[in-house]
Amino acid sequence: MDEKKISVKVCLGTTCFVMGSANLQELIETVPAKYGDKVDVMGVPCLGLCSIDWEFSKAPYVKVDDEVVKEATVEKVLKAIDEKLAQQEK
């Protein structure tokens, strides 16, 4: 089993913040409580995705390792983490 920690980066740039990443900040508290030290959650100043994704309105963005979660919600992010953990256990 791979012991590498999963990194979760919540974009707190302008677009993502107004589109709801302000509410995703609760992940910073809930994720460690749920997964312990298997997952690292942090806010980042900007993932730079809104300006290159020409569909724009997919903000807020969260990165779970290299996978981008578009229109992220707490549920979507938790699901992505679960999938990553399941993959690691295989």
Q: Does 17 bind other proteins (CB under 8 A)?
A: yes
Rule CB under 8 A: choose which of 30, 43, 73, 74 binds other proteins. Answer: 43
Residue 50 contacts residue 59 (beta carbons within 8 Å): yes
Q: Does 74 bind other proteins (CB under 8 A)?
A: no
Q: Does 71 bind other proteins (CB under 8 A)?
A: no
Rule CB under 8 A: choose which of 34, 40, 48, 88 binds other proteins. Answer: 48
Rule CB under 8 A: choose which of 5, 34, 40, 42 binds other proteins. Answer: 42
Question: Which DSSP string do the residues of 30-90 spell out, in sequence order?
Answer: HHHHHHGGGEEEEEES--S-TTT-TT-TT-S-EEETTEEETT--HHHHHHHHHHHHHHHH-
